[in-house]
Chains A and B, each alone.
Chain A
Amino acid sequence: MADYLAQIRLVLVKDLRLELRSRIALGQVLPFAVLVLFLFAFALDPDGDVLEVATPGLFWVTVLFSAVLILQRTFALEADDGVLDALRLSGLAPSAIFLGKVSALVVQLLVLEAVLAVGVAVLYDVTFSGIGLLVLVALSATVGIAASGAIYGALSARLKSRDTLLPVLLLPLLAPVLISATRGFEIGLRHEAGGGWSWIGLLSVFALAYLALGAVLFRPLLEDA
């Protein structure tokens, strides 16, 4: 078990180190996400009520688009210069590779969401009142996005059309996450009692299902990639 956890940690640290070296998420995806928030603000600013009502949905749509960009980059790196073959020969358990990659994606997405939350507070004049609920929604949604994204990222890794194929495959699949996270955020922002837990439950089930699916499927996905 300790060996297995060490393998997950090895992949997690490697992926985060790759991101720190290349600065794609920080230097390109993050500015893109903030830019999208700006564009929504410009488009909807004439009617402040619409912006206020739409904030949760706009936040999660921005997160999903940004997540697709991060996923494309993450799996493009693995397809470079025979690295996928090396991973197959490495001795690492495929499920450990999957969980390590999911962990690294979760860290990157949480950083992105934290910056976007500040952006939303400043640009959309939103006050985060039900912070506990919002954090739980964000955590469960992020794990779901990362787990399902890692599966589809591996599936499309070696395809020439992966840049266009990944969003087409992934975004419809993430519709339940978008809906649940948006509803959860709406309840959290309005600080309503109850209600939010059912959305967290749904997001958690989605996340756990894709974590389990990925742990089982990553071996054949790695072989076929």
Chain B
Amino acid sequence: MHHGEIVLLRGPNGAGKTTLLKVCAGLVPVTSGTVEVLGRDLTRHRAAVRRRVGMLGHATFLYEDLTVTENLDFWSRAAGATRDDGRAALVRLGVAERLWDLPVRALSTGQRRRVSFASMVCRRPELWLLDEPHAGLDADGRDVIDELMAEAASVGATVLFASHELDRAEGIAHRTVTISGGVIG
């Protein structure tokens, strides 16, 4: 994969898409072979690579008892970003300001998904790893995600995403990679 490239990872259920994304994020140990992410050997430089990677999976990666802004403050500052970065990401993701002081548990699935995306975006990762990024979102939310992926790629970030919504996904991807039975075709 190259800088500024958006790559769609497609394949049937159980093909290994999520596992591959987690391997690239350094969340699943490499048991054989080598994985090079952002030009570095993941086995030897896992911590350094992780700091430059953003991931959105099936889980929201949010604390349900904290409010939206408290979550964003924590995750943005943990990554060395500022509170303003977190709030800007919320605005960009279209999270209404009236929701900011609500605990995450009070949000709908789609709203949580947007907040989760905002917590990833505010870190300004160089590699975006997205597992079904459009899942649970309304039409407007899906459009925003597409725009964000395109914007990220335009400033040099690389996007690898898995999706079953092929019509939409192929429309924004520069390239498609198929995986089946754990093997990339």
The chain A residues found within 8 Å of chain B, CB to CB, are 6-7, 10, 14, 17-18, 21-22, 77, 80-83, 85-86, 88-92, 223
Contact = CB atoms under 8 A, between A and B. Distances in A.
Contacts of B61: 81-83, 85-86
23 contacts: A14-B63, A17-B70, A21-B66, A21-B103, A22-B65, A81-B60, A81-B61, A82-B61, A83-B59, A83-B62, A85-B25, A85-B57, A85-B61, A86-B61, A88-B26, A89-B26, A89-B27, A89-B50, A89-B54, A89-B55, A91-B50, A91-B78, A91-B123
Nearest to B49: A89
Interface of B: 25-27, 29, 50-51, 53-55, 57-66, 70, 74-75, 77-80, 103, 119, 123
A83 B50 contact: no
A18 B63 contact: yes
Nearest to B104: A81
Given A18-B63, A88-B26, 4 more contacts: A10-B78, A81-B60, A81-B62, A83-B63
B65 A91 contact: no
A14 B123 CA distance: 18
Given A88-B26, A89-B25, A91-B79, A82 B59 contact: yes
Main secondary structure of the interface of B (DSSP, over half): loop
Given A17-B66, A22-B65, A85-B27, A90 B60 contact: no
Contacts, number: 66
B176 to A, nearest CB: 26
A6 B73 CA distance: 13
Contacts of A22: 65
B50 A18 contact: no
A88 B62 CA distance: 13
Nearest to A86: B61
A22 B123 CA distance: 27
A80 B79 contact: no
Contact of A86 (B26, B65, B75, B77): B75
Main secondary structure of the interface of A (DSSP, over half): helix
A90 B103 contact: no
B74 A10 contact: yes
B49 to A, nearest CB: 10
A96 to B, nearest CB: 10
A12 B63 CA distance: 14
Q: Which 8 A-B pairs have the closest CB atoms?
A: A82-B59, A86-B61, A90-B78, A21-B65, A91-B51, A81-B59, A22-B65, A82-B61
Contacts of A89: 25-27, 50, 53-55
Contacts of B78: 7, 10, 90-92
A65 B66 CA distance: 27
A219 to B, nearest CB: 9
B95 to A, nearest CB: 17
Nearest to A94: B47
* A18, A21, A22, A81 pick with most chain B CB within 10 angstroms: A81
B79 A77 contact: no
Contacts of A10: 74, 77-78
Given A90-B79, A91-B78, A18 B66 contact: yes
Contacts of B55: 85, 89
Given A14-B74, A89-B27, A77 B63 contact: yes
Contacts of A14: 63, 66, 70, 74
A190 to B, nearest CB: 43
* B25, B58, B61, B70 pick with most chain A CB within 10 angstroms: B61
Contacts of A85: 25, 27, 55, 57, 59, 61
A88 B58 CA distance: 16
